């Protein structure tokens, strides 16, 4: 499914360029919290797409 693949690729780019811990967490905790929320949403959507649209059982660590 193209949507799941595109979302996964974009998430990997986000993870590569948008730091959460260390300096970001210390200097801008609101930004770090927002980024963690974005990660939670992406996990939820990917889990949904894998289960409901592709019939797969993703790992909990996803």
Question: Per-residue pLDDT tens for 21-62?
Answer: 999 999 999 999 999 999 999 999 998 998 888 888 877 765
Q: What is residue 13's predicted lDDT score, i.e. its pLDDT?
A: 95
Rg (CA), the chain: 13
User: Once rounded to an integer, what is the mean pLDDT over residues 10-22?
Assistant: 93
Q: What is residue 61's predicted lDDT score, i.e. its pLDDT?
A: 66
The counts of H helices and E strands in the chain are 3, 0
Q: Which two tokens stand for residue 38?
A: 């974005």
Q: What is residue 56's predicted lDDT score, i.e. its pLDDT?
A: 85
Q: What is residue 59's predicted lDDT score, i.e. its pLDDT?
A: 75
């Amino acid at each position: 499914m193209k949507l799941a693949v595109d979302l996964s690729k974009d998430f990997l780019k986000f993870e590569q360029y948008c730091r959460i811990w260390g300096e970001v967490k210390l200097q801008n905790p609101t930004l770090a919290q927002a980024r963690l929320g974005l990660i939670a949403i992406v996990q939820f959507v990917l889990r949904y797409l894998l289960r409901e649209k592709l019939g797969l059982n993703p790992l909990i660590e996803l």
